[in-house]
Amino acid sequence: MEAEVENKNMNTEKLKEIVAFRAVDELVTSGMKLGIGTGSTALLAAARIGERYENGELKDLLVVPASFETRMECQKYGLNIHSLNDRVIDGELDLTIDGADEVDTRKNLIKGGGGGLLLEKIVGYVSRDYCIIVDQGKLVPHLCSNRGIPVEVIPEAMRSVSKHLEGLGGGVTLRMARMKAGPVITEKGNIILDTLFPAEILKDPVAMERELNSIPGVVENGLFTREVNFLYVAYRDGSVKKNPVL
């Protein structure tokens, strides 16, 4: 049984690598202003970009990482790291590559499983093109199939926002840290309320994304409904499809 579980995990890791490499090899070109998201799949994309930069295949890349962890991965390869406010970036990117926690049949996403939704959303939404890389396990018939929507909240507003989310029909869980006492604190000093909505309440993810952000104390939420220009999916048989019909 343990061996089976290990095998399954190894397989998923391999799928993440295949899909990350394929997207980078097809989409990233020299001279791009590039956003890189967060999570294990996005880190593999960062590594692939780094390798191709180091061996001279990619030149003059300007990279904006969406988290501390991704920044560290980019630093390993000596990539040119920038903030969105730097003059050479000026708040605009050519392409962002990121992973996701759930992808529905209309390519709406839940993100923020790693807690990085705020910067991931800013980087993703200011990009001309948006590329999402996932393994088949992330495809769901509707959002909130396997997990709630992470809602990043100013700590002082925990109770008021929780009540508001419950009033909308959500089941709210404060995300707790694993190797630290107390809640997860995001890179911007906020807490995360994972909020599970039944399918009948989450019929219109675009409206819900806006509604969640209108609650006082909410900084950002993990529903991502901007257009996904490129969706790469790695399937269990090892094949990768670009923009598959879902």
CA distance 238 to 75: 30
120 in active site: yes
Cβ-closest position to ligand 5RP: 39
* Residue 115 interacts with ligand 5RP (CB under 6 A): yes or no: yes
* Residue 65 interacts with ligand 5RP (CB under 6 A): yes or no: no
**How much helix, strand and coil, in percent to the nearest 5, is found in the chain?**
35, 25, 40
* Residue 97 interacts with ligand 5RP (CB under 6 A): yes or no: no
* Residue 220 interacts with ligand 5RP (CB under 6 A): yes or no: no
Task: Report the residue from 39, 65, 124, 148 that binds ligand 5RP according to the rule CB under 6 A.
Answer: 39
* Residue 212 interacts with ligand 5RP (CB under 6 A): yes or no: no
CA distance 172 to 191: 12
DSSP 8-state code for residue 155: G
Per CB under 6 A, which region of 54-62, 98-106, 159-167, 170-178 contacts ligand 5RP? Answer: 98-106
- CB nearer to ligand 5RP: give 50 or 116: 116
Q: Is 76 helix (H, G, I), strand (E, B) or coil?
A: helix
Q: Any alpha helices (H) in the chain, and if so which ranges?
A: 2-27, 40-54, 68-76, 117-125, 158-167, 205-213
CB of 39 to ligand 5RP, least distance (A): 3
Instruction: Classify burial at 214, counting beta carbons within 10 Å of its beta carbon; exposed 0-12, middle 13-18, buried 19 or more.
Output: exposed
Residues that bind ligand 5RP (CB under 6 A): 37-42, 98-101, 111-117, 120
Where in the sequence numbering do the catalytic residues fall? 120
